[in-house]
Chains A and B, each alone.
Chain A
Amino acid sequence: MSPRTLWLWVLLLLATTYAQAFTLDLNKLIDAGKKVGETKEVDEHGEAEIGNTAAASLLGAAPLVDNPQLQRYVNKVGLWLAMQTERPDLPWRFGVMDSDSVNAFAAPGGYVFITRGLLLQMHSEAELAGVLAHEIAHVVKRHHLVAIQKNAKTGLASDLLSMAVDNTGSQYGEWQKKAISASTELYARGLDKEDEFEADRMGVVIAARAGYDPYGLPAVLQTLDSMNPQDSNLALMFKTHPAARKRLELLDTLMTGTMERYASQPVVADRFEQVVGAYARAGK
């Protein structure tokens, strides 16, 4: 072997080793990228699929109130609020659930629900707006989406991607089962407290952006704080949320000096009384 050939061999060997090392690193990078993608970078299609399943689980626990006028009213208030956020173009859907329980829920992709029990405790549209805006904030920040995916043992979004587009296959059925149990478990257990506080902070700003008195949410929290914690209708809400008094105090500290200038914005009590009052008087 001439010295020249030897050099060529050495070079080739080095190049191969380098290439192998590079390939390995690249694979690691791709894996890391996938992991990030599974929890954070779900596309809107994946979010909508997971959201549909989560919403179906919620409405399986308590149905919608059969009152189109009431439902359309809540959709008008809700969409106006959602239009003031960073995700105005989601297919937002709002609904009143036929339940004595006092609670409100959000699901990925733009679903927001409030129970009759909570709606009837309110005094004005600004209070309704405060609660809807809190739930809208959960959707905007994808709180449930991230948590549902964490609950599922494997990545729901990547499973969706690897699946055939055919939504009727048995594979999809399996996927749905997993998504259902991950979401019902989440709604029974609740989000992290910090997610709830964040939704409170964003909710009062969203309500103020939409032109409402931003103290609607604090007023509802004050009402919740006055209710008997032993009441079974409050069990899920109290289990899944930080104490109402604590939330009220945190908001008050934050809003003093910053939100007071918007406190004279309308509370829209008359329209609320007209629509929700008609529903309450009829008892259906």
Chain B
Amino acid sequence: MKKIASVLALLFPILCMAGESAQTLVDTDLMQEPYSDAKSLAKLKAHTAVEVLKRMGGWLQVKPSENPEGWLKLTVVKLGGAGAGADTKGDTGLTALWNTATQGRSGNTGVTVATGVRGLSPEDMKNAKPNPEAVKKLGDFAVNKSQAEAAAKKAKLSKHDIDYFADAAGSKK
């Protein structure tokens, strides 16, 4: 089973950001390493198209078409690509898989599946009729602390004592 899962993961490397197109927001340096004091590889103009290879902390590894691979801060990059107008939906992550699964199915039968009203517009929210049964149902999926801790351990997550940031008034929040 595990083998199948890893083979599937190889076949569908869907979640690395590789291939997502993006553009620079401002004139910026393309860095050799993901650090602000790293060597600059090139100067990129605002709106330079780049391909995103991966994210590491607050940095993205990118490949501009005219330059070698390098690193840009998250904040100077806009995902979605140069020339991508307001008509780009900007779907990332697993959305494409979901769309294939749901719309693919409707395509096979030749019937357009109406998924019903599943919006959460401001109007929907205002007119919502409460569903207390669904709140009770939530209890079925609750876990206890030792289950949460075991799951964290499995993913090699270890906890740290870190203070909250002080707000503008100087109090820890």
Instruction: Kindly report which residue of chain A lies nearest to residue B113, judged by CB atoms.
Output: A283
B80 to chain A, nearest CB (A): 4
Question: Is there an interface contact between A213 and B57, defined as CB atoms closer than 8 Å?
Answer: yes
A280 to chain B, nearest CB (A): 4
- Against B, the Cβ 8 Å flags (1 = close, 0 = not) of A261-284 are 011111011111110110011110
- Against B, the Cβ 8 Å flags (1 = close, 0 = not) of A117-130 are 00111111100000
A147 at the interface (CB under 8 A from B): no
Question: Is there an interface contact between A211 and B160, defined as CB atoms closer than 8 Å?
Answer: yes
Bound form: Cα–Cα A185–B123 in Å:
10
Question: Is there an interface contact between A280 and B157, defined as CB atoms closer than 8 Å?
Answer: no
Q: Give the residues in chain A near B86, CB-CB below 8 Å.
A: 228-230
Question: Is there an interface contact between A72 and B131, defined as CB atoms closer than 8 Å?
Answer: no
Q: Give the residues in chain B near A160, CB-CB below 8 Å.
A: none
Question: Is there an interface contact between A252 and B58, defined as CB atoms closer than 8 Å?
Answer: yes
Question: Is there an interface contact between B120 and A61, defined as CB atoms closer than 8 Å?
Answer: yes
- Against B, the Cβ 8 Å flags (1 = close, 0 = not) of A239-262 are 100000000110010111010101
Bound form: Cα–Cα A72–B137 in Å:
12
A55 at the interface (CB under 8 A from B): yes
B25 to chain A, nearest CB (A): 9
Question: Is there an interface contact between B131 and A228, defined as CB atoms closer than 8 Å?
Answer: no
Question: Is there an interface contact between A57 and B162, defined as CB atoms closer than 8 Å?
Answer: no
- Given A120-B93, A201-B173, check contact A210 B98 (CB 8 Å): no
Which of A60, A227, A273 contacts B129, CB < 8 Å? Answer: A60
Q: Give the residues in chain B near A225, CB-CB below 8 Å.
A: 78-79
- Given A60-B129, A60-B130, A219-B55, check contact A99 B92 (CB 8 Å): no
Question: Is there an interface contact between B167 and A198, defined as CB atoms closer than 8 Å?
Answer: yes
A146 at the interface (CB under 8 A from B): no
A231 at the interface (CB under 8 A from B): yes
Interface centre among A56, A121, A125 (most CB of B within 10 A): A56
Q: Give the residues in chain A near B125, CB-CB below 8 Å.
A: 61, 184, 187-188, 236
Question: Is there an interface contact between B77 and A222, defined as CB atoms closer than 8 Å?
Answer: yes
Interface centre among A88, A103, A185, A270 (most CB of B within 10 A): A270
Question: Is there an interface contact between B165 and A184, defined as CB atoms closer than 8 Å?
Answer: no
- Given A59-B131, A283-B101, check contact A103 B120 (CB 8 Å): yes
Bound form: Cα–Cα A52–B133 in Å:
11
- Given A231-B89, A269-B16, A274-B5, check contact A80 B157 (CB 8 Å): yes
Q: Give the residues in chain B near A77, CB-CB below 8 Å.
A: 148, 151
Interface centre among B86, B145, B161 (most CB of A within 10 A): B145
Interface size on B, residues (CB 8 A): 82
A75 at the interface (CB under 8 A from B): yes
Which of A53, A58, A121, A205 contacts B91, CB < 8 Å? Answer: A121
Which of B104, B124, B154 contacts A61, CB < 8 Å? Answer: B124
Which of A99, A265, A281 contacts B97, CB < 8 Å? Answer: A281
- Against A, the Cβ 8 Å flags (1 = close, 0 = not) of B131-158 are 1101101111111110111011011111
Question: Is there an interface contact between B88 and A228, defined as CB atoms closer than 8 Å?
Answer: yes
Bound form: Cα–Cα A121–B14 in Å:
12
A39 at the interface (CB under 8 A from B): no
- Given A123-B17, A252-B58, A273-B15, check contact A205 B128 (CB 8 Å): no
Question: Is there an interface contact between A76 and B90, defined as CB atoms closer than 8 Å?
Answer: no
Question: Is there an interface contact between B120 and A115, defined as CB atoms closer than 8 Å?
Answer: yes
Q: Give the residues in chain B near A115, CB-CB below 8 Å.
A: 120
The 9 closest A-B pairs by CB, nearest first: A263-B57, A283-B101, A211-B157, A226-B79, A61-B128, A71-B141, A59-B134, A101-B120, A56-B130
Contact sample, A vs B, 16 pairs, CB 8 Å cutoff: A52-B135, A93-B142, A103-B120, A121-B93, A202-B165, A205-B162, A205-B164, A210-B159, A219-B55, A226-B22, A228-B89, A269-B15, A273-B94, A282-B101, A283-B104, A283-B105
